[in-house]
Amino acid sequence: MDKGVDTGRTVQVGNREIYFTEFGSGPAVVLLHGGGPGATGLSNYSRNIEALAEHFRVLVLDMPGYGRSSKYIDQSDPFGYLARVLGEFLDALQIDSAHLIGNSYGGAAALRLAMDRPDKVGRLILMGPGGVGSTRALPTKGLQELLAYYPGSGPSREKIIRFIREFLVYDGATVPDEVIEERYRASIDPEVVASPPLRRPSGLFALRTLWRMDFTRDARLSEVAHPTLVVWGEDDKVNRPSGGRMLAETMPNCDLYLVARTGHWAQWERAELFNTLAIAYLRAER
């Protein structure tokens, strides 16, 4: 993808500003990035946008709390808040419904929108989504690393290098230095440092928040009838691949694809395979 010209714009969604970039034409497909430090829509999907835009109207968001979008997130129900903003974003653009592709944090937002406002969602493609069985086991080492990025000594190049090379992908040597530097620069935005978007629930109602953030505790999950493709790296060190089986066994129209020798960033690590799967799935008759 040519990153030389930024053609993005901002739309007002309630009292928030959501930044997005649009490519191609056809049925609307919204790309929702993960929640790692310094993540943005364009960086998360740099290897997918061009291929998808040959078939679809592709909208690439900076999620609330990231990039050029407004930074506030309701920490009492983060995934519910993200889903509400996403639904209102589609309303603001007068998009009746859209296919959603979500990685990790973005996958959780997509799944929650399908539960809260099913009419706004066409098909779902979820890569290692958050919120799946998260209260049924201790956090993974990768998730612990992610959540430890801002607390304590604060953000640093050393922390982000370790997270990306050791926990985000299967083979850290494949991630160019410039990708890490771009992520680091975005991660030290003063607004983000002051109020990190992804953090451990705390306070009096922390347990309630944790419960809300685990979709396997929500009876509505079994009612999400949207055609759903779950893509999960078998070597994901952030969200456990067993979550894919949980979704496939609970959701009535859920297909599961486990990707060998792949970590948490399947759409980037195995871009050609992912693009082929995604295009075929979104264009399928059923």
Q: 127 pairs with which residues across the strands? A: 103, 231
Q: What are the helix (H) ranges across 6-97?
A: 41-44, 49-53, 78-92
Pairing of strands 121-127, 228-233: parallel
Catalytic residue numbers, as ranges: 264
Q: Which helix (H) or strand (E) holds 191?
A: helix 190-194
125 close to 148: Cβ distance less than 8 angstroms:
no
Number of alpha helices (DSSP H) and beta strands (DSSP E) in the chain:
12, 8
Buried-state track 230-241, b at ≥16 Cβ within 10 A, e below 16:
bbbbebbbbbbb
Q: Which of 170, 221, 199, 238 is nearest to 76 (CA)?
A: 199
- CB burial of residue 202 (10 Å; 0-12, 13-18, 19+): exposed
Backbone dihedral angles phi then psi of residue 7, each to the nearest 5 degrees: -105, 20
